Amino acid sequence: MTTNLTAIVNARLQGRDGLHSLTVQAGKFGVITPQATSVVAAENELDAAGNLVAPAFVEPHIHLDAAMTAGEPRWNQSGTLFEGIECWGERKATLTRDDVIGRAEQTLKLFAAHGIQYVRTHVDVTDPQLTALKAMLEVKERVAGYVDLQIVAFPQEGIWSFRNGKELMEEAIRLGADVVGGIPHFEHTRDYGADSVRWLVELAHKHDRLVDVHCDEIDDPQSRFLEVLAAEALRLDYGSRVTASHTCAMGSYDDAYCSRLFRLLKLSGLRFLSMPTESLHLQGRFDSYPKRRGLTRVPELLDAGLKVAFGQDSIRDPWYPMGNGNMLRTLDSGLHACHMLGMNWIERSLELITDNGAAALNLQDYGIAEGLPARCIVLQGETPYEVLLGQKPVKASVRDGRVLVDRPVEAPLAGLNLG
């Protein structure tokens, strides 16, 4: 049975000094008051015990239809995006409704145990039957008690380059996909890629949907579909609803081009998602040495005032055999890969897996403030630095005042026996 809370006490909040109590009424946050000293939690109160309390984690980019299929029917040995797409094509041919629902829910439970309450999943719609999409629409309803799930109609094998690609995208939107996806760098030609981006933004705009494009997920410095996406977002004044995922090629663009590009990016205000563990693994594959990291320009985008978040992208699928649902692992890798272990970055790092992910998903009621849904997590640590050092599972996760997760704080040396 889940507990309905009346308050969270002894909470540390980012941007405020000392301890705080957060009252909860009818599933929403009430007043937030500073505490002079630590207090004993009453019945139906959650004791944060001086740990950091943050909004629930956001997993802004994952492929749940492919989750937990690594090695089926074969392993991706080259570690390239392209062999991943081939392996997935073989596995996709055997998908069933129950298969997709089972793996997606198994993954979402793992995410819930790690304090994730908001997820955006891409679902491959280059399938004449749309088996995975129909199953995922069911999953969205089945899991609504513990996670808000957004579904992207994702054309893995292209819109222009796959038979009936446009019709399948339109059908996916008609069936209820929330977000329009794309994959311009995988289309057969540059023109197909650019045309597909213009078409998909129009489609989303016409149907009042969000946009999230796999954009330039390649080390090719000539892959420049981001400028097309940003220009369309600007033209339609749609930037807050448009997300560019990956943009790995930006890590290979030269600075002169970037300086022009960044002007457009700032004007358009679109959102960015980087998947550090995935890109470290899949990119740089056609380099000898030096080997590129394959990540977009995360600190530069943040410095330009743009919103960037990190996502896991994969969990044990044809593209990436690892993953455990812990966003702190993704964050740790991303900060390393992007040269962001300066204390100024560490102190604000949680925004990369909370607020900026919420911005990418265009969430409206996200955060810790009076009147917002009482959704939050208790981390293991008093500061972002401590949380990152430990990378421990969340101590608690609360959703609309219900306690979804509550586990004991782990002592650092628990289990150590030196005789």
Write the CA distances from 96 to 74, 91, 101, 132, integer angstroms. Answer: 18, 11, 9, 8
Q: Which does 69 bind (CB under 5 to 8 A by kind): Fe ion, ligand 17E, none?
A: none
Give the chain's length: 419
Active-site residue (options: 217, 227, 232, 351): 217
Q: Count residues binding ligand 17E (CB under 6 A).
A: 10
Does 218 interact with ligand 17E (rule: CB under 6 A)?
Answer: no
Does 330 interact with ligand 17E (rule: CB under 6 A)?
Answer: no
Asked if 325 and 111 touch (Cβ cutoff 8 Å), the reply is yes
Does 61 interact with ligand 17E (rule: CB under 6 A)?
Answer: no
In the set 59, 313, 317, 355, which binds Fe ion (CB under 5 A)? 313
Nearer to Fe ion, 186 or 238 (CB): 186
State in angstroms the smallest separation of the CB of 314 from Fe ion.
7
In the set 233, 319, 381, 395, which binds ligand 17E (CB under 6 A)? 319
Determine the distance from the C-alpha atom of residue 14 to the mean position of all C-alpha atoms in its chain, rounded to a whole number: 21
Nearer to ligand 17E, 330 or 397 (CB): 330
Structure tokens at 11: 């909470």
Rounded Cα–Cα distance for residues 10 and 45 (Å): 10
In the set 51, 277, 312, 314, which binds ligand 17E (CB under 6 A)? 314
Quick check: is 217 catalytic?
yes
Query: 35 pairs with which residues across the strands?
Result: 19
Q: Which does 59 bind (CB under 5 to 8 A by kind): Fe ion, ligand 17E, none?
A: none
Asked if 282 and 81 touch (Cβ cutoff 8 Å), the reply is yes
Rounded Cα–Cα distance for residues 384 and 331 (Å): 11
SS3 state at 301: helix
Q: Is the bond preceding residue 60 a cis peptide, omega within 30 degrees? A: no
Asked if 65 and 392 touch (Cβ cutoff 8 Å), the reply is no
Task: Give the interface segment with Fe ion, choosing from 131-139, 286-294, 309-317, 395-403 (CB under 5 A).
Answer: 309-317
Nearer to Fe ion, 81 or 378 (CB): 81
Asked if 187 and 213 touch (Cβ cutoff 8 Å), the reply is no
Q: Which does 81 bind (CB under 5 to 8 A by kind): ligand 17E, Fe ion, none?
A: ligand 17E
Does 91 interact with ligand 17E (rule: CB under 6 A)?
Answer: no
In the set 214, 271, 316, 402, which binds ligand 17E (CB under 6 A)? 214
Does 63 interact with ligand 17E (rule: CB under 6 A)?
Answer: yes
In the set 157, 187, 217, 232, which binds ligand 17E (CB under 6 A)? 217
Does 157 interact with Fe ion (rule: CB under 5 A)?
Answer: no
Burial grade of 129 (CB within 10 A; 0-12, 13-18, 19 or more): exposed
Please count the other Cβ atoms lying within 10 Å of the Cβ belonging to residue 339.
11
Residues forming the site for Fe ion (CB under 5 A): 313
Task: Report, as residue numbers or ranges, the catalytic residues.
Answer: 217
Interacting residues toward ligand 17E by CB under 6 A:
63, 81, 156, 183, 214, 217, 278, 313-314, 319
